[in-house]
Homo-oligomer: A and B are copies of this chain.
């Protein structure tokens, strides 16, 4: 298969970890006889520094003309805590999602049994946790009308959803549940929000066409509790943009290994794959960042294009590295192995 892949390394440790993902994809190319082309482009704080905008037009064009986007991380402390900043790295990411129509953010959360002691939760609680979150990514309060009055004393954000926006991601969630444990949990706040009541109505109706899937509902405040009390109850979680942002970050830490979690952002014509960890500015250039989340993002990319066996090969190489303790210091405090070394090791064992 030929695949054109846009490489958006972004800020902080983004470039370092993405380089390891590329090594693994190149290893897959050779082993399975595919042809991948990689085209780098600017995004985030790096792009602001060099071009004045967090998402240059060329970057957007490149992404639109690629089969997939591999994304590193964005964010730089110098743009945080400045409520008056006119340009922010995050705007690049939000615009990219919107322009590429990436309406569904998919985050698998799985506990690695050999790393279970790293979880902040008790072993009995996280053991066996294995679920996937479907977060709506191009609607809701993120993209609704924003207002501030002239005096700057009243500000607002509109959370709006249409039936169409809800149903397209709901279908993806139900389909995913089919090949899993057959349960979808809608997380909303239908006891307070009109938009949540629309979610509940639409998702309930769609659920009727998936009779083999159990559908249940949790208010978001309760979901935030259940994530800690009993996360193994979840199979597929479906939720809106804002609740998904919060719940999926909460979910990412219960496993104890945020450096292992990948995500896919999928639309009708495009898809983007990225580690869920951030740009981790303090670690930049130190060769200590864990490359596994980026490498598993590459595996999701392959899977998305139907290259199941190839994705499986990456998963096995990663598990092999973990079992043999070829990991960065975040997974094993005694480790002296670096990002690059671990990347090579995984790429070579594919």
Most B CB contacts (10 A, CB to CB) among A122, A156, A220 go to A156
A157 surroundings in chain B (CB, below 8 A): 158-159, 193-195
Interface-located stretch among A2-10, A140-148, A297-305: A140-148
A249 surroundings in chain B (CB, below 8 A): 221-222, 224-225
Residue of B nearest to A161 (CB): B155
> Does A39 interact with chain B (Cβ within 8 Å)?
no
Number of A residues contacting the other chain (C-beta, 8 Å)? 61
SS of A interface (majority): helix
The answer to whether B156 and A163 touch across the interface, beta carbons within 8 angstroms, is: no
> Does A279 interact with chain B (Cβ within 8 Å)?
no
> Does A204 interact with chain B (Cβ within 8 Å)?
yes
CB distance from A26 to the nearest CB of B (A): 33
The answer to whether A146 and B225 touch across the interface, beta carbons within 8 angstroms, is: no
A191 surroundings in chain B (CB, below 8 A): 80, 88, 90
Contact A141:B224 (CB < 8 A) given known A121-B120, A155-B198: no
The answer to whether B146 and A193 touch across the interface, beta carbons within 8 angstroms, is: yes
> Does A115 interact with chain B (Cβ within 8 Å)?
no
Residue of B nearest to A191 (CB): B90
Contact A81:B217 (CB < 8 A) given known A141-B159, A160-B155, A250-B250: yes
The answer to whether B194 and A148 touch across the interface, beta carbons within 8 angstroms, is: yes
The distance in angstroms between the C-alpha atoms of A160 and B122, with both chains bound, is 39
The answer to whether B197 and A225 touch across the interface, beta carbons within 8 angstroms, is: no
What 1/0 mask marks residues of chain A from 185 to 218 whose CB sits below 8 Å from any chain B CB?
A: 0000111111101101100100000000000010
Contact A194:B156 (CB < 8 A) given known A217-B81, A253-B229: yes
Residue of B nearest to A119 (CB): B122
Contact A225:B250 (CB < 8 A) given known A141-B159, A163-B154: yes
> Does A228 interact with chain B (Cβ within 8 Å)?
yes
> Does A125 interact with chain B (Cβ within 8 Å)?
yes
Most B CB contacts (10 A, CB to CB) among A189, A220, A246 go to A246
A228 surroundings in chain B (CB, below 8 A): 120-121, 228, 250, 253-254
CB distance from A171 to the nearest CB of B (A): 16
How many copies of this protein are present in the complex?
Answer: 2
> Does A162 interact with chain B (Cβ within 8 Å)?
yes
The answer to whether B198 and A148 touch across the interface, beta carbons within 8 angstroms, is: yes
> Does A324 interact with chain B (Cβ within 8 Å)?
no
> Does A153 interact with chain B (Cβ within 8 Å)?
yes
The answer to whether A83 and B197 touch across the interface, beta carbons within 8 angstroms, is: yes
CB distance from A166 to the nearest CB of B (A): 10
The distance in angstroms between the C-alpha atoms of A228 and B221, with both chains bound, is 15
> Does A337 interact with chain B (Cβ within 8 Å)?
no
The distance in angstroms between the C-alpha atoms of A246 and B159, with both chains bound, is 17
Contact A190:B120 (CB < 8 A) given known A225-B253, A250-B250: no
The answer to whether B94 and A204 touch across the interface, beta carbons within 8 angstroms, is: no
> Does A245 interact with chain B (Cβ within 8 Å)?
yes
CB distance from A270 to the nearest CB of B (A): 21
Can you list 28 pairs linking A and B with CB atoms under 8 Å apart? A80-B191, A83-B204, A88-B191, A90-B192, A141-B141, A141-B159, A141-B192, A141-B193, A147-B194, A148-B194, A154-B161, A154-B162, A155-B160, A155-B198, A156-B160, A156-B161, A158-B158, A189-B242, A220-B245, A221-B249, A224-B246, A224-B247, A225-B249, A225-B252, A227-B250, A228-B228, A228-B254, A250-B250
